[in-house]
Amino acid sequence: MTNLVASPDIPAARTGADNAVRAGEHLRRMLPREMVRGFRPHARRLAQSIISGVRQSVPEYAEPLEGPFAEVLTAAAQSVILRGIDAILEPKTSSEDWTPLFRSIGTIECGQGRSLDALRAAYRVAASVTTQYVTRYARHYGVATEVLTSLRAIIDAQCERLCGLAAEGYASAASGASSHAARRREHVLHLLLAEPVPDIAGATEEARALGQPLPDTLVAVALRRPDRAEPTYDDLGESVLADLHGPQPCLLVPADDPVLTELPRHLPGWGAAIGPATSLTDIRSSLHVARRALDLAERGLLPAEPVIDCGEHRTTLMLFADDLLIDNLIERRLAPLATLTERQQERMLVTLQHWLAARGHAGEIAQRLDVHPQTVRYRVNKLQQLFGEQLTDPQSRFELALATKVRLLRSAALPTRPEEFVAK
């Protein structure tokens, strides 16, 4: 996997390693040509020694290297060795670019599932084996110690260069594999959210093929992109199904996945709403609720938080599940207030809200509203005149409580805290 010498005419020297260039020129002057020429028969033997040394020293390469790939590696190492010999004997020989070959080696290694650390270790072993082999050979010719030192430096430099090329190929392949897996996970997401009928069986089979079986319970996360043109995001992990590029970006996440608590870090600047946990068959409903939460937040009906947990706003989400129905309810149940001014309506609605929750206790209502009890009694009498039997009939009272809550939420007259609302 290396050569004997780097010169201005071969790829290693063209990278700008000045010390390698100077050492190469020195070697041409100092090494006997017959010694260099006599090393050619050793090229394949050295290449095989390199492969053997890697197998013995790097656990991930312990298995026998057989077939076409083993021959590619051996031939590559032998070719680089022979090219190094030629560079000494004929410095003006046209150079050969090793970039495609050694990048392809990195690509193959990534596909074989070996680590980048193992690949780099293999090149270090290659440098060591080559240095030992060449040193033994050169000593038979009485080569001076300082020349051997230069030779070792050149071997190390060239091995480092070729290792860098292989690492580039590995990184590119790893990135491509990661992108391919991400696209397959996105396909699983689309199968689960398909309209009009989700393909649960297809999604389950595809997830198994990815080695990431679907959990029994998921949550949907609706997303809103930040205003900037190129939103940023971190790797969300293999357990997350993500569509970050579509018109309605979203995630499907295992219900207990820690990523749910770290969304602002992974998706800086994005808006997010976490839907209810549900089974695979109902995950579209979870996403519908989450998207509704984002819409309500934009309308000011839910707090404008970076991440909205729908579980904390169940009442508001239920109340605004259908605007047409809730508008009809408000119009029908709150019609008696139409004769009052907007400000009068707001005061009466606030009083009605607390009166329904406090079961009509004027003192408690006065304390909540920070007004005199007599003021409360006056308003309650007025409400009884306006609404009559609606205040005593259970169904009418319940609907009146809903209509009041929604009107107050829309006017922002009360905090959007669902726990304050209890229909009694």
Range 173-194 burial, b when 16+ CB lie within 10 A, else e: bbeeeeeeebeebbbbbebbbe
Per-residue pLDDT tens over the stretch 344-367: 999 999 999 888 887 777 888 888
Confidence of residue 422 (pLDDT cuts 50, 70, 90): very low
Element (H, E) at 67: helix 67-89
Which residue, 148, 104, 150, 156, is CA-closest to 127? Answer: 156
For the chain, report the end-to-end CA distance as a whole number of angstroms.
Answer: 82
How far is residue 110 from each of residues 174, 257, 414, measured CA to CA in Å?
Answer: 6, 28, 59
What is d(CA 375, CA 390) in angstroms, rounded to the nearest whole number?
Answer: 22
Per-residue pLDDT tens over the stretch 190-204: 999 998 889 999 999
When comparing pLDDT for 53 and 104, which is higher? 53
Residue 171's contacts (CB-CB under 8 Å, 6 or more residues apart) are 106, 116
Confidence of residue 11 (pLDDT cuts 50, 70, 90): very low
DSSP states of 299-340? TTSS---SEEEGGG-HHHHHHTS-HHHHHHHHHHHSGGGGGS
What is d(CA 308, CA 316) in angstroms, rounded to the nearest whole number?
Answer: 13
Residue 254 DSSP SS3: strand
Per-residue pLDDT tens over the stretch 214-272: 999 999 999 998 876 567 777 788 889 999 888 899 999 999 899 999 999 999 999 99
Mean pLDDT score of the chain, rounded to an integer?
81
- 388 sits in the region (left: phi over 0; alpha: psi -120 to 50; else beta) called left
Stretch 70-78: mean pLDDT: 77
Q: Do you find a cis peptide bond into 196, omega within 30 degrees of 0?
A: yes
pLDDT the model gives residue 8: 31
Task: Check residue 246 and report its DSSP letter.
Answer: S
Which residue, 38, 42, 46, 35, is CA-closest to 1? Answer: 46
Domains and CATH numbers, the chain: 11-175 (1.10.490), 215-319 (no CATH), 323-420 (1.10.10)
Beta-strand runs (E) in 48-190: none
Output the six-digit token pair for 114: 């070996």
How far is residue 29 from each of residues 7, 25, 191, measured CA to CA in Å?
Answer: 13, 7, 69
Stretch 93-114: mean pLDDT: 72
What is d(CA 269, CA 261) in angstroms, rounded to the nearest whole number?
Answer: 15
What is d(CA 397, CA 352) in angstroms, rounded to the nearest whole number?
Answer: 11
What is d(CA 15, CA 332) in angstroms, rounded to the nearest whole number?
Answer: 81
pLDDT the model gives residue 146: 82
Output the six-digit token pair for 406: 């929604």
Which residue, 399, 419, 413, 422, is CA-closest to 300? Answer: 413
Among 19-33, 61-75, 181-195, the least confident range: 19-33
Report the interhelical angle of 342-357 vs 373-387 (nearest 10°).
Answer: 100
When comparing pLDDT for 271 and 324, which is higher? 271
How far is residue 341 from each of residues 232, 336, 347, measured CA to CA in Å?
Answer: 49, 12, 10
Cross-strand pairs, 292? none
Whether 240 and 274 have beta carbons less than 8 Å apart is answered as no
